[in-house]
Structure 1
Amino acid sequence: MRIAFLTGAGMSAESGVPTFRDALTGLWSRYDAMTLATEDAFRRDPALVWGWYRWRAAMVRRARPNAGHFGIAEFVRSGHAVEVVTQNVDDLHERGGMREAIHLHGRLFASRCLDCGATREPDPIVDGLDAIVDGVRETPPACDACGGPFRPGVVWFGEALPEDAWASAVAVLGRCELLVVVGTSGLVHPAASLPRLASTRGTRVIEINPVDSAVSPLAHECLRMPAGAGIRILLERYA
């Protein structure tokens, strides 16, 4: 069967990765994560925003894939054609056994020059991550090509999604026979339109989420449980 998984923050929450709605700690406790994830915030205080993303990258690096990530990869070993579209910027799907995932909102372990888009190897956002615990304000490195500051390779609020990732996601949702939506609120656009795209084609939609979401009215079945437990049930059904 051709199965698509659309995953959101709830997918990584079981690995201990906090969502944007979770309270921040330490140096970051007086900030709203939503206000740090914009180009305006970065231009106002690049050291604050770069330091926060480096702290977040260090936290994700220490996290481990959970049963949900491993379960999705198990669908592949069971002979299904599996494609993953994720709103998450972490690499847990890949570390959990998927060769690739479509990252709608960019990748945390990548950075580029804010001004000219140049990249550098090794990527500066991963430099010395193992030593970062609480995080500090940190001036972003300067681009070798133009001198501009490096920024995280994620999609900030107010920015368009990467065109290639969006086109790939639409193609995936257009050809799947089953769509499993895991741990997403269904409120962040344009990603929120993808379940409806599959639904209008008559594709079966299953939601895995402990709580109701904007996806729930579109779903043929709602499994009110965390990602790992829900994916295990589907493995038992479809393997």
Structure 2
Amino acid sequence: MLYENKIQEIVRLIKGSDKTFALTGAGISTESGIPDYRSPGTGLWEKQDPAKTASLSALRRDPAFFYSTNLKRWTAFNDAQPNTAHTALAQLEKMGLLDGVITQNIDSLHVKAGSKTVWEVHGHLRTCRCMDCRASHSFDHLVQSFDNGENPPRCLKCGGVLRPDVVLFEDQMNDDYYQVTFEISGCQLLLVVGSSLTVYPVAGLPSYAKEIVIINNTSTPYDNEAAVVVHESAGKVFRDIMHKLGVTL
């Protein structure tokens, strides 16, 4: 199918669906300057083993090393801005054509773009909590503590080690994930954007949808089951989708 025909078919599916969700992965944020995890040559996990550096056991074993290794990368997310794809999804929700965004990303770019219904199934970097007393703090406090020479950053209440409110390797999934497995029931159309669909349990969510559209630079295990597959950048595809819907981004 030609690219133009694919865009027309995606628009037809969006208009015809009464319950549509988007599932986004790291690929939607690369145009905002955030590298993804698994792209050959540039993926973050090609440079380090996440089981050794970004896992719950790594944090417990050596919290100072954990923060020295990960915090600079995470704070870089705070400077990133939403791109066309994030803005388009927020606009689709505003137009009543999208029921919500399920994201694997921790960069908060959907929230920044104005999306109102967002399930951050791997958490976010807006808050953190104490590993001992579980008191909540802003993520800014964690960063400021680290920048002031406190490594690992400590809880203001009990002095325990702080941890970000993200789902680390070896962590249990968060409440957003369990909520979305209920909310997605009856989904007519799932727009998969920038996800390789290889990380479980989130990679199993497309099985809840009647029809799937995949927008990703590389192939996924679900390509053969999708109604439309577009191997292009998310920004380009959504700019063209919104143009067909009469919206200029």
TM-score, length of structure 1 as denominator length: 0.83
Indicate whether 1:20 and 2:37 are aligned: yes
- Cα distance change of structure 1 residues 74 and 23 upon mapping to structure 2, 3 Å threshold: closer
> Which residue of 2 is the match for residue 150 of structure 1?
162
Separation (CA, whole Å) in 2 of partners of 1:62 and 1:12: 12
Q: Find the partner of 2:231 among 209, 213, 224.
A: 224
Instruction: Tell me: CA distance 1:171–1:120, structure 2 relative to 1, closer, same or farther (3 Å).
Output: same
Following the alignment from structure 1 to structure 2, what is the Cα–Cα distance between the partners of residues 212 and 122?
35
Equivalent residues in 2 for 1:4-153, closer than 5 Å:
4-21=21-38, 22=42, 31-121=48-138, 123-127=140-144, 139-153=151-165
Partner amino acid, structure 1, of 2:107: D
RMSD over equivalenced CA pairs, Å = 2.7
Which residue of 2 is the match for residue 193 of structure 1? 204
- The answer to whether the 8 Å contact 2:197/2:222 transfers is yes
Partner of 2:190: 179
Matches of 2:220 and 2:116 in 1, distance apart?
Answer: 29
Q: Distance in 1 between matches of 2:138 and 2:87?
A: 29
Q: 1:217, CA displacement in angstroms?
A: 2.5
Specify the code of the residue in structure 2 equivalent to 1:161: M
Unaligned runs of 5+ in 2: 1-17
Check 1:34–1:40 CA distance in 2 against 1; reply closer, same or farther (3 A cut): closer
1:204 to 2:211 alignment: yes
Amino acid at match of 1:4: F
In the aligned structure 2, how far is the partner of 1:19 from the partner of 1:141? 26
- How far does residue 31 in structure 1 lie from its aligned partner after superposition? 4.1
Q: Does the Cα contact within 8 Å between 1:51 and 1:137 map onto a contact in 2?
A: no
Q: Where does residue 234 of structure 1 map in the other structure?
A: 241
SS at match of 1:111: strand
The secondary structure found in structure 2 opposite 1:49 is helix
Matches of 1:128 and 1:204 in 2, distance apart? 47
Query: How far apart, CA to CA, are the structure 1 residues paired with 2:149 and 2:186?
Result: 45
Distance 1:85 1:233, change over 3 A: same
In structure 2, C-alpha distance between the alignment counterparts of 1:154 and 1:186, rounded to whole Å: 19
- Distance in 1 (alpha carbons) for counterparts of 2:99 and 2:25: 17
> Could you state the TM-score of these two structures normalised by the residue count of structure 2?
0.80
Change (3 A) 1:189 1:30: closer
Q: Is the 8 A contact 1:47 1:137 kept in 2?
A: no
Amino acid at match of 1:61: N
Label 1:237 to 1:174 Cα distance change in 2 as closer, same or farther (>3 A).
farther
Q: In the alignment, which residue of structure 2 is the partner of 1:213? A: 220
CA distance in structure 2 between the aligned counterparts of 1:151 and 1:75, rounded to whole angstroms = 34
**For residues 231 and 139 of structure 2, what CA distance do their matches in structure 1 show?**
42
2:3 maps to what in 1? none
In the alignment, the residues of structure 2 paired with residue 195 and residue 100 of structure 1 have an alpha-carbon distance, to the nearest angstrom, of 18
Separation in 2 of the partners of 1:219 and 1:30?
A: 32
- Give the 3 Å change call, closer, same or farther, for CA 121–16 of structure 1 in structure 2: closer
**Residue 217 of structure 2 contacts residue 231 of structure 2 at CA under 8 Å; is this kept in 1?**
yes
Q: Letter of the 1:39 partner, please give it.
A: L
